[in-house]
Structure 1
Amino acid sequence: HANGASFFFICIYLHIGRGLYYGSYLYKETWNTGIILLLTLMATAFVGYVLPWGQMSFWGATVITNLFSAIPYIGQTLVEWAWGGFSVDNPTLTRFFALHF
């Protein structure tokens, strides 16, 4: 599954490179849709990375979700919602599984 995701992202980056080479970024609406899709794919890949629940996954989830705390006013609330409490634990894994699936 992880190798397939890596190959998929290689294809995505080649597609972006082709778009840059041929000047497809001039079509703003299409380009912006592609950027939104890329960000969605990256988020899906991240929550999939967390699912094995090893040390790297745990600390990856901790660090990346803590980045949300930098958002003014709602950051800490977003972090606590993503965690399902006050630390990365089983509710976090359940949420990430639901988002990935």
Structure 2
Amino acid sequence: MKLLKRNSFLSIVNSYLIDSPQPSNISYMWNFGSLLGFCLVIQIATGVTLAMHYTPTIDLAFISVEHIMRDVNYG
């Protein structure tokens, strides 16, 4: 607990996330919404990353998908 008070960055994180007052009507649906928001951010990030490797032309579309499937990590 002393580390949270001494380090300025951890002190800010502690004040915003841990010590902040929470509403009394938080239910499991709030957790579900947070999980859905996190999944949306992950899907947007991976979609943008894969879109950087895709070429949307008639001649190169199949080759770019093949490149994504074979050469791109987790593609």
Name the TM tier (shorter chain): 0.3 to 0.5
Q: Which has the higher contact order (CA 8 A, sep 6+)?
A: 1
The structure with more radius of gyration: 2
Larger helix fraction of residues: 1
Question: Please, what TM-score do these two structures have when normalized by structure 1?
Answer: 0.31
